[in-house]
Amino acid sequence: MTMTQRIDELVGGLEAVRSPDAPAATATSAVATAMVQLSYFAYDEPITDIPGDVADPDKVFPPVNDSYWRCVWGPVVDGDDGNLLYVAGLFAGSPDAPAGTSPFAVALVNRGTADPDVKGLLEDLYEDATPIPQDQWQDDPDAWVANGSRSAFRTVTGLTWGGQTVLDYLCALPQVDGHEPIILVTGHSLGGCIASMLAPWLVANLPPAKAAWLTPITFAGPTAGNQGFVDDLAAACPLRQIYVNPMDVVPMAWWEVGAIPDVYGLWYLDPVVASWAATTCLALDALDYPYVAVPSAIAPLPGKFIKLEHPIFGLEWFQEAGAQHACANYMLLMGLVPPYAFAPDAPRMQRLESAQREDVEAVARAGGRGTVQTQPNNVLARYRLPTLAR
């Protein structure tokens, strides 16, 4: 397989969002599959496990044949607020028979809030994506973003590894067989929100040739800013892919806060959530801080209620919200098997409720790669579901 063929196959996966059948074609695309897996392993504890998981082709599937992933920058974490970033490189060949020393594509992976307690879900959301006040975005007088999101973005762009910021690393990336490496930006939850800011910032700060195919692919991210910010993002990243579970309340922040209390209907109602949402809406309206969802060609994932393993009276709403938001649940909804799904010591974002085991087994029997099969795969045998563990 030539480098041109690899690049063309990867670009074809990104351009699929432009086709009339985009929602069906891309919901479980090979590119999105790899991005949600990379986002999942950003929650590894300890973080020294991340490079090993990224390099395991049974855990992170290459989006094109005859290629493999490995960490090339980071992971690095900020000691104050826990923001983590790493870069995975996609190389030609295989680990045993590499076909080059430089990646032909890279993925910048942002971690979300690390292992949040479901009882403090909204508190974590306020801490990591404070919607009031808003800060101006990239000197655009019409573009404004949440103060909390802006703070997290500044932290991530200031992280260094080997004496380089991530921008330094990308600027120094060499061409591979005459091709500039394709840059992808991804993350789950707060990581997805940061990715939506990092992507247009990189487009503005990288040479145009390097940013030609730069694409954010995010999962469960709260909205970062207003219409001006969304317009800037849409113009900079026309191939963006935004994945949302309709049963997840986090992506409703901060553009649809008023709908959060009713997302579970009569199944779960919580007066605290209703009061919080009403107060937040009043504050946003009074201070004139509007938020707008980032448009995407990706259809919502097929969300459904999750049977709670240990419901706690009065906290069921928060427990359901936490289970719906887990990166492991996003993987499952995309037709993938989360490797640590039932390991009791795995971080919360990597675990599922025990009631979801049947769904995992069904996905595993189907091949565990959504609708895309890039290589022969026997997930059920490999993961041995009854004893899934780290």
CA distance 189 to 222: 7
Contact 220, 327 (CB under 8 A): yes
Enter the pTM of the model: 0.91
Per-residue pLDDT at 172: 97
Classify strands 164-165 and 160-161 as parallel, antiparallel or unpaired.
antiparallel
CA distance 94 to 259: 47
Per-residue pLDDT at 369: 64
Per-residue pLDDT at 140: 95
Per-residue pLDDT at 373: 32
CA distance 75 to 122: 27
Beta bridge partners of 364: none
Per-residue pLDDT at 113: 84
Beta bridge partners of 146: 134
Burial class (CB in 10 A: 0-12, 13-18, 19+), 78: middle
Contact 84, 110 (CB under 8 A): yes
Per-residue pLDDT at 375: 30
User: Which residues, at least 6 apart from 121, have a Cβ–Cβ distance to it below 8 Å?
Assistant: 318, 321, 322, 325
Summarised one tens digit per residue, pLDDT across range 349-364 is 999 999 999 999 999 9
Per-residue pLDDT at 122: 43
Classify strands 84-92 and 105-110 as parallel, antiparallel or unpaired.
antiparallel
Per-residue pLDDT at 385: 34
Contact 24, 335 (CB under 8 A): no
3-state SS, one letter per residue, for the chain = CCHHHHHHHHHHHHHHHHCCCHHHHHCCCHHHHHHHHHHHHCCCCCHHHHHHHHCCCCCCCCCCCCEEEEEEEEEEECCCCCCEEEEEEEEEECCCCECCCCCCEEEEEECCCCCCCHHHHHHHHHHHCCCCCEEEECCEEEEEEEHHHHHHHHHHHHCEECCEEHHHHHHHCCCECCECCEEEEEEECHHHHHHHHHHHHHHHHCCCCCCCCCEEEEECCCCCECHHHHHHHHHHCCCCEEECCCCCCHHHCCCCHHHHHHCCCCCCCCHHHHHHHHHHHHHHHHCCCCCCCCCCCCCCCCCCCCCCCCCCCCCHHHHHHHHHHCHHHHHHHCCECCCCCCCCCCCHHHCCCHHHHHHHHHHHHCCCECCCCCCCCCHHHHHCHHHCCC
Whose structure tokens read 């404004």? 144
Contact 260, 249 (CB under 8 A): yes
Task: Report the side by side order of strands in the sheet with 84-92.
Answer: 67-77, 84-92, 105-110, 182-188, 215-219, 241-243
Whose structure tokens read 């999101």? 149
Q: Is the N-terminal amide bond of 254 cis, ω within 30° of 0?
A: yes
Mean pLDDT, consecutive 10-residue segments, the chain of 390 residues? 91 78 58 96 95 96 95 90 91 92 97 62 50 92 94 94 97 96 97 97 97 97 96 96 95 93 83 91 93 91 89 89 96 95 93 94 81 33 31
Classify strands 140-146 and 134-137 as parallel, antiparallel or unpaired.
antiparallel
Domains and CATH numbers, the chain: 3-253+289-387 (3.40.50.1820)
Burial class (CB in 10 A: 0-12, 13-18, 19+), 87: buried
Summarised one tens digit per residue, pLDDT across range 137-173 is 999 999 999 998 998 899 999 999 999 999 999 999 9
Contact 327, 43 (CB under 8 A): yes
**CB count in 10 Å sphere of residue 318:** 21
CA distance 368 to 75: 27
